[in-house]
Amino acid sequence: MKLATLKAGGRDGTLVVVSRDLVTCQAVPNIARTLQAALDDWDSIAPQLQQIYELLNQGMAADAVSFLDEECASPLPRAYQWADGSAYINHVELVRKARGAQVPPSFYQDPLMYQGGSDSFVGPRDPIAVLSEDWGVDLEAEVAVVTGDVPMGASPEQAAQAIRLVMLVNDVSLRNLIPKELEKGFGFFQSKPASAFSPVAVTPDELGDAWRDSKLCLPLQVTLNDAPFGRPNAGDDMSFSFAQLVAHAAMTRELAAGSIIGSGTVSNKQGGLHGSSIANGGVGYCCLAEVRMYETIEQGAPQTSFLRYGDTVRIEMLDGSGASIFGAIDQEVVHYHGAQK
């Protein structure tokens, strides 16, 4: 089943069920007005949404209208939790190698995870608005899941059962602010502005064979200024599955329905700078920092700049037949000029 949230309807938008081909959608005010409301009472509401989904796919839904990515907020326009892991250790290994440090052995057993802000995500087609280019704006293309209620101390097996939805995310980072923030020891805080999620969130069953062992085994397609930039397979080199990440988040506390847990920047192990870009036959990157790390390792200093005003980032994922699964995140970097809403 595929779900989205239209911006119309207030801070939480309007929940719609979306057809598999992303062509039509239908609001379901008599079932659930918002995605959070559906998640709050998932066991009774999901089967009703599934019925609408089947009607939509058959072209028989009573109130179907055209579905447009442009009208979407993030599936949860605001959420009660957004915690992001760093499950692709290759990314961490590159970070460390670029600064001449080792990856601590514990990093291979114990996931990195930070608590992100979740009070107001931007929509998948909204700009990345910042007050200064000097902050070092970077994309981070990732996969994320939305959970139901998870008890404290849940096992990975229990956590796997609590995964309700899967979506994509651009976890924007302000790279030039990160060193000072991390030095303070309290996490990324000011260096992580509002993230954007894919227009559509899908249930794991919708992914078929591509959802294996709580990993999404398909290439993530990242486009930078209309040129291919990354297509790493999100199922490769993921050191911790989503089941493990959710269990990690729940080790010392309950997670409430609607919690979003992210994978961290998708990153596949590759040879070196020359062969890693898509132009040179590699699978490319999901963030600019990674190119800069390769450049630092091989050339002594980064050459590629972070995002500038006017730069565009597109993130999506295609199924085996080339059809978009989640719709596309497509954002332009702009100067912030006051409230977006």
- CA-to-CA distance for 197 and 173, rounded, in angstroms? 14
Minimum CB separation from a copy of itself for residue 82, in Å? 9
Q: Check binding of 194 to a copy of itself (CB under 8 A).
A: yes
75-94: contacts with a copy of itself (CB under 8 A): 78-81, 83, 86
Q: Check binding of 335 to a copy of itself (CB under 8 A).
A: no
- Alpha-carbon distances, residue 21 vs 39, 69, 146 (angstroms): 23, 12, 22
Per-residue interface string for the shown chain with a copy of itself, residues 132-161, x marking contact by CB under 8 A: ---x-------------x-xxx--------
Angle between helix axes 288-299 and 89-98 (nearest 10 degrees) is: 40
Q: Check binding of 60 to a copy of itself (CB under 8 A).
A: no
Residue from 188, 229, 285, 294 in contact with a copy of itself (CB under 8 A): 188
- CA-to-CA distance for 138 and 192, rounded, in angstroms? 10
Minimum CB separation from a copy of itself for residue 265, in Å? 14
At residue 215, what are phi and psi to the nearest 5 degrees? -130, 150
Spatial CB neighbours of 47, under 8 Å, sequence gap ≥ 6: none
Spatial CB neighbours of 218, under 8 Å, sequence gap ≥ 6: 207, 210, 233, 234, 235, 317, 318, 319, 325
Q: Check binding of 45 to a copy of itself (CB under 8 A).
A: no
Residue from 45, 55, 68, 182 in contact with a copy of itself (CB under 8 A): 182
- Take residue 316 and report the two structure tokens written for it: 């999506």
Residue from 50, 57, 120, 239 in contact with a copy of itself (CB under 8 A): 120
User: Where in 90-209 does DSSP place strands (E)?
Assistant: 113-116, 128-130, 137-138, 141-147, 163-170, 173-174, 196-197, 200-202
Residue from 256, 278, 297, 334 in contact with a copy of itself (CB under 8 A): 256
Task: Report the residue number, 90 or 173, with the smaller CB distance to a copy of itself.
Answer: 173
Minimum CB separation from a copy of itself for residue 78, in Å? 5
Q: Check binding of 255 to a copy of itself (CB under 8 A).
A: yes
| Stretch near a copy of itself under the rule CB under 8 A, chosen from 160-168, 184-192, 204-212, 279-287 | 184-192
Minimum CB separation from a copy of itself for residue 19, in Å? 30
Count of residues that bind a copy of itself according to CB under 8 A = 55
Rounded to the nearest angstrom, the gap between the alpha carbon of residue 100 and the centroid of all alpha carbons in its chain is 29
Task: Report the residue number, 68 or 114, with the smaller CB distance to a copy of itself.
Answer: 114
- CA-to-CA distance for 206 and 50, rounded, in angstroms? 11
Q: Check binding of 239 to a copy of itself (CB under 8 A).
A: no
Q: Is 327 left (phi over 0), alpha (psi -120 to 50) or beta?
A: left
Q: Check binding of 186 to a copy of itself (CB under 8 A).
A: yes
Residue from 113, 162, 169, 246 in contact with a copy of itself (CB under 8 A): 113
